[in-house]
Amino acid sequence: MAVQYFTPEGLERLKKELLKLKTEDRREMARKIGEAREKGDLSENAEYDAAKEAQGLLELKISKLEDALGKARLLDASKMDASKVMILSTVKIKNLKMNKTVKYMIVSEDEANLREGKISVNTPIAQGLLGKRVGDKVAIQVPSGKMEFEVMEISI
C-alpha cells in the first residue's frame, strides 16, 4: 500500500478505530472464545470455530489499520496550492449536461463518505479533476458514460 494522505480528523478517526479494535474488540473476542470453549469438545464445536475465525478476521483488520497508520501522512492545508485541484481540495463543479452544481472534497480512500461530500481520490471523477484549475472543462469517463464538468471553485 502506498502513502495515504489524511486530514487531521481522518487520521484521528483511524487511530481511535485501531485503539477500539485492540482493546474492546479483542476483549470481547476472547470472551466469546472462552464461552465457546466451555461448551465442550472443540473438534465438533461450531461456535468455537466461528469465534476463532472471527478472531482471525479481527487480527487481519488490526494489521491492515496498523499498516495504513504506518504509511499515513498528514496534509498541512496551509502549504497547499488552492489554484488547482489536489487531494484535500474542496471543489465545486458544474455538470454541463444537467446544469447542476455539486461540491466535493477529495480525500483518501479511508476518509471517503459521499453523504458528507467526500469522494475518494481514486474515483474517476476525482482522478479527472486532479490538476485542473477554475474555469477548466473536463470530460470524465464514468461507468455510466462520459460526463462533462466545469471547475467553478477550488478551496482548501
Instruction: Identify the CATH number of the domain in which residue 147 sits.
Output: 3.10.50.30
Same domain flag for 60 and 109? no
- Per DSSP, 13 falls in state H
30 and 48 housed in the same domain: yes
Question: Quick one: 62 and 97 in the same domain?
Answer: no
Tens of pLDDT, residue by residue over 52-99, are: 899 999 999 999 889 888 888 777 666 667 788 988 889 999 999 899
Q: Of 33, 50, 74, which one is at a domain's C-terminal end? A: 74
Last residue of a domain, one of 59, 74, 89: 74
Q: Are residues 17 and 61 located together in one domain of the fold?
A: yes
Is residue 81 within 8 A of residue 88, CB to CB? The reply is no
What is the span of the domain harbouring residue 31?
A: 4-74
**Shortest CA distance to 76 belongs to which of 126, 14, 132, 5?**
5
Same domain, 87 and 150: yes
* Gap between the Cα atoms of 89 and 57, Å rounded: 34
* 23 and 61 within one domain: yes
Same domain, 139 and 93: yes
pLDDT tens, residue by residue, 18-62: 999 999 999 999 998 888 888 777 667 788 888 889 999 999 999
Q: What is the pLDDT of residue 76?
A: 66
Shared domain for 39 and 52, answered yes or no, is yes
Under DSSP, the state recorded for 84 is: S
* pTM higher than 0.75: no
Read off the CATH number of the domain in which 32 is found: 1.10.287.180
pLDDT in tens, 113-146: 889 999 998 899 999 999 999 999 999 998 888 9
| Bridge partners, 139 (sequence order) | 148
Same domain, 70 and 85: no
Q: Residue holding cell 479511508?
A: 110
Q: How far apart are CA 139 and CA 54, in angstroms?
A: 44
